[in-house]
Structure 1
Amino acid sequence: MKVDLIVRNARIDTRDERRPSASALAVLHGRVVALDEDVEGLTARETLDAKGLALLPGFNDVHAHSVWFGTTLMEADLSGVASLDDIYDRIKAQAAETKPGEWVVGAGYNPVLLQGAVPDRDALDRASGGRPVWIKHASGHSGQASSAGLAAAGVADRDVPEVDGGKIVVDRDDRPTGVLEERAMALVQEILLPYPLASLEQALELATAQYAREGITSVTDAGVAGGWIGHAPAELAAYQAARDAGRLRTRMQVMPVMDALHELPGHADEPARRGFGAGMRTGWGDEWLQLGPVKVFTDGSILGRTAHMREEYEHCPGYHGYLQDDPEAMRTRIREAAAAGWALALHAVGDAALDFALDAIEEATRANGWPPVPNRVEHGMVVRPDQLERLARLGVACVVQPSFITAFGEGIRGPVGKRRGEMSIRARSQLDAGIPLAFSSDRPVAPGAPLLGIQSFVRRISEEGLVYGEHERISVDEAVRAATVGSSEVTGQQAHKGRLAPGQLADMVLLEAHPREVDAAEIGAIPVRATIAGGRFTHRDADVD
């Protein structure tokens, strides 16, 4: 038999308990068809001599923002600034390439790295030559406008209105600083959006090319087509066009935000439902592009102190953060989406928000049964012991981001304090409770390379070099499992993804070394030599042949 690809002389970690290792592998029609002795006698259209390199299942990031990430590659990069002057310089450089009257957009700024400092709105005006400026904070839950930007958004210097589910931040003189939190960001986004679909296709091409260079073969895009995180109402069309044009280098499971769903008329005897026209729901699509759960934002972020906590924030007497909408209104929409067959992905950062999310999921499951893809909560930055038990009982995954620890762990621990910090970004506790553990990055909020995430799962060292929850450390093999098998379980795709075994998709990554073979502090630096999705190379070093 002639197959499409044979890989020989590899050290294959199959992640299959029945056959954990191999040295040769054959691929036909995008799937693994043979290992080791079953490869003998086969011929192939292409043969790869791995020369002893490590071959693993492709990495799977179950919570990222691909269009958002891709657009940051086309905007002023503020992720590595060391001072406010650096910001002004980069805005000035971006303004020089921007037409008069158009917005100057910067991305990736993390105020935590500058001890909470934010740019001066008037200084941004000077840097941009009077063009309106919009800076996207790395958390995605706030942004910064210049004076010209505020004026364009209709925000006056006095009589600043309140915003449901958000805030226009003012200084001690009640003058807006330019910082817009949560739903207040819509004041600017309504001007900048929607993006042209051609720009979104370009963003997807740029983002997935970077994913491939890092060994990623699958991504779940956690929020598109609406809300503050979407880029266009027809955002799904950009994914389909990019896929049709061969511009997607990774498989995509896409989560529409709840705002993109609408009431669906039905029979009088049926429950109220919410979804897409024609009744499309979670699971629609194929192995390359599939609808995932519906994304619901219940609260904000700890970095911005907008996550909803049961106890007050450190040094903020009486302040607990807040939910992003009326609780009953959110419960109703969640119940209606579940009735239409949607799985649920509820953004819940604070433990009070997690209580709300689990209540809503339990109610929806009781009424509608199990969805086609597992229900999940996103982030769960502070999870109490009783909530771990409840997550396990309900069969709900808690999708954490290990790279948050290395990017801004102390920025999280500071607002919640030492005791709650010990309940943050749980990994070991989830495994011990029987909850499936996946890898995710939330990119571009934090660095997204999966090898760095595996390293962070294992070491748990913060940006200041401090241990962050030693009791939540996991082994290298457990972390690799999270990025492969665990991610496939959380996305409901374990039947055909996550292992290198006959019948599974031929998604794999060729590494210079297996993560277990290097010092834990060096895992993130392991070179990715090639990435293969469906038996086709999406990234390949020149000497890999």
Structure 2
Amino acid sequence: MSATMLFINGEVVTVDSVFSVMEAVAVKDNKIIAVGTNEEILALKGEDTDIIDLAGRSILPGFIDAHAHLELYGTNRLGVNGKTADSISELIERLKEKAKTTPEGEWIRGWGYNQNHYAEGRHPTRWDLDEVSTEHPIIVVRTCGHISCVNSKALELAGIHSRTEDPPGGKYERKAGELTGLLLESAHMNMFLFANYSEEEVMHGLELASKDFLVKGITSVHDAGGYGPDHIRSLLNAVSSKRIKQRVYALYGSLHDSPGMVEMGLQSGIRTGLGDEWMKIGPAKVFIDGSSSGPTAKTRDPYTSDPKDSGILYLTQEELNMSLGKAHQAGWQITAHAIGDEAVHMMIEAVRSALEHEPRQDHRHRIEHSGMTPPDLLVKMKDLNIIPIPNPAFIYEFGEGYVRDYGERVNHTFPLWSFSEYGIPFAIGSDSPITTADPIHGIVSAVTRMSNSGKEIGIGQRITVQEAIKAYTWNGAYASFEENLKGSIEPGKLADLVVLNDSILTCDHSKLRDINVELTILDGKIEYAAKKEGVI
């Protein structure tokens, strides 16, 4: 049997059951057909076989991002970047430039601001944004995706005024009884849906996201949802038209009214697993609490930075049990966004309740983020076979804020070492666009636990490069019931592969950040190639 593509002289990181490292791999059409020595693999050469000499570089299973937001990432590309600004003043100037080319009355959108990184040390206000325009509605979303600021025109169009009551699970910030324009949690989610992008903009954004993710070696994405009920349809259209190249496992939820979205799924009669190898319906997902960096995560004890605050809850335990319990009973995998230790505990109890009422083997229920997970919760997660989906890249970008807001709790925040020690399989997600989608960045953060200023954050939770690679490949496949299809380089599995520019297993940890993707192979085809001599 002749191969269509051979990779030889490499570091083939198979991620098989014993983490074998081989020399070469053969692909025929869209499947891996052999892994072994150069001699064994070259024996499969045919007249039309392409041979790629890796020259010692690593080839891995294609990266699986177990929690990312393709639509949010892509549509952010259409707006104003606030992440790279140093101040509110700089953000305002960027928004003014955008206003010059935006027709009057249309939305101006910004994203990625972080008040902790701005010179003013505060959130923007509606009065700041009114300097940009009082004729355009304006929304600027914080880096966490759970908080935004809008101008006076946006508040007016949405019918929000000083006497408007806070929505359940959210808050309109007020100073001396007057709205500041800052919207927290569900207040933000409601406004963003009101200001939503057009279908054409969403589809363009999804295409941009897919291209960027290919550059990073990502061949599968567990998409964690958008702001409204049309999100699944948009994903399906983008996958079927190949505007999204990656394989998609779609979490069935919404950033706006997640229990309502789950109920729609239940009423439709669909459930987890519906679809094919390109797009499948994933778990039913709801929101329990807020963000880790806001901070709005729901914690058992008050924040270290504010003894009067312990975060925001979207649902009561009873509401959570009812929503996800019905989904479990209908055969769905279930999951929830849970950051704070109180929220993680609530999700564990929801899973326990669901299994008591309707026992099921191999349910693979998940917890998205599972931010603060101390030992008592680890024991319960292990007992219930729950899969956490942590985001170690958050440590790099937000770690010092975690120390300020949570104190010693950073030692069990995204506790990868503890998950490993307790035998809890975990799959890593970027939560992009909250942080970069780059899996190498996520691996480095998992291995070093260093913030962007070089501070060590909860270093007892460091893991090995091998463990991080497995969490970005095989474990991601396992979390979507697809470990027999992908996630490792083994005969019979899909030829979703990534070639790096160095050996990731022998590279010094201090140089891991210099590793880049040279080739992304998806379904046996090269979908991305860095323009470097000697790559292909």
Shorter-chain TM-score bucket reads: over 0.9
Distance 1:95 1:436 in 2: 47
How many residues align? The count is 525
Distance 1:51 1:222 in 2: 34
The answer to whether residue 229 in structure 2 is matched with residue 233 in structure 1 is yes
1:337 to 295, 306, 327: 327
Distance 1:25 1:477 in 2: 19
Distance 2:47 2:158 in 1: 60
Distance 1:62 1:190 in 2: 24
| CA offset digits 1:143-194 (Å, max 9, x no partner) | 11012222222222x33422211000112x221111101111244234223x
Contact 2:60 2:489 in 1 (8 A): yes
Distance 1:519 1:151 in 2: 55
Q: Gapped runs of 5+ residues in structure 2?
A: none
Distance 1:416 1:443 in 2: 23
Contact 2:58 2:504 in 1 (8 A): no
TM-score normalised per structure 2: 0.93
Determine the structure 2 residue equivalent to 1:285: 275
Percent of residue pairs bearing the same amino acid type: 31
Contact 1:281 1:342 in 2 (8 A): yes
SS in structure 2 opposite 1:218? strand
How much does 1:506 deviate? 0.9
How much does 1:44 deviate? 6.3
Distance 1:355 1:17 in 2: 31
The answer to whether residue 244 in structure 2 is matched with residue 248 in structure 1 is yes
- AA paired with 1:136? V
Moved more, 40-49 or 504-513: 40-49
2:480 to 464, 470, 491: 491
Distance 2:471 2:524 in 1: 22
Determine the structure 2 residue equivalent to 1:271: none
How much does 1:306 deviate? 2.0
| CA offset digits 1:42-88 (Å, max 9, x no partner) | 42644132341221111111011011001011111111110111110
Determine the structure 1 residue equivalent to 2:132: 127
How much does 1:541 deviate? 2.1
Moved more, 91-100 or 126-135: 126-135
- AA paired with 2:130? D
Determine the structure 1 residue equivalent to 2:194: 191
The answer to whether residue 62 in structure 2 is matched with residue 58 in structure 1 is yes
Contact 2:229 2:261 in 1 (8 A): no
Determine the structure 2 residue equivalent to 1:163: 167
1:149 to 154, 157, 172: 154
2:421 to 423, 432, 452: 432
Determine the structure 1 residue equivalent to 2:4: 4
The alignment's C-alpha RMSD in Å is 2.0
How much does 1:276 deviate? 4.7
CA 1:56–1:161 in 2, change beyond 3 Å: closer, same or farther?
same
Determine the structure 1 residue equivalent to 2:204: 202
The answer to whether residue 50 in structure 2 is matched with residue 47 in structure 1 is yes
Determine the structure 1 residue equivalent to 2:266: 275
SS in structure 2 opposite 1:127? coil
Distance 2:145 2:47 in 1: 47
SS in structure 2 opposite 1:438? coil
TM-score normalised per structure 1: 0.92
Moved more, 355-364 or 324-333: 324-333
Distance 2:102 2:503 in 1: 45
Distance 2:458 2:307 in 1: 25
CA 1:187–1:494 in 2, change beyond 3 Å: closer, same or farther?
closer
How much does 1:9 deviate? 2.9
Determine the structure 2 residue equivalent to 1:268: none
- AA paired with 2:10? A
Moved more, 79-88 or 109-118: 109-118
Distance 1:427 1:377 in 2: 14
- AA paired with 1:180? L
User: Which residues in structure 2 correspond to 1:435-450 (within 5 Å)?
Assistant: 435-450=424-439
Distance 1:329 1:206 in 2: 37
CA 1:313–1:44 in 2, change beyond 3 Å: closer, same or farther?
farther
SS in structure 1 opposite 2:204? helix
Contact 2:520 2:529 in 1 (8 A): yes
CA 1:497–1:97 in 2, change beyond 3 Å: closer, same or farther?
same
CA 1:263–1:307 in 2, change beyond 3 Å: closer, same or farther?
closer
Q: Gapped runs of 5+ residues in structure 1?
A: 225-229, 265-273
1:180 to 160, 180, 183: 183
How much does 1:283 deviate? 0.6
Determine the structure 1 residue equivalent to 2:98: 94
Distance 1:59 1:263 in 2: 32
2:297 to 293, 304, 307: 307
- AA paired with 2:219? T
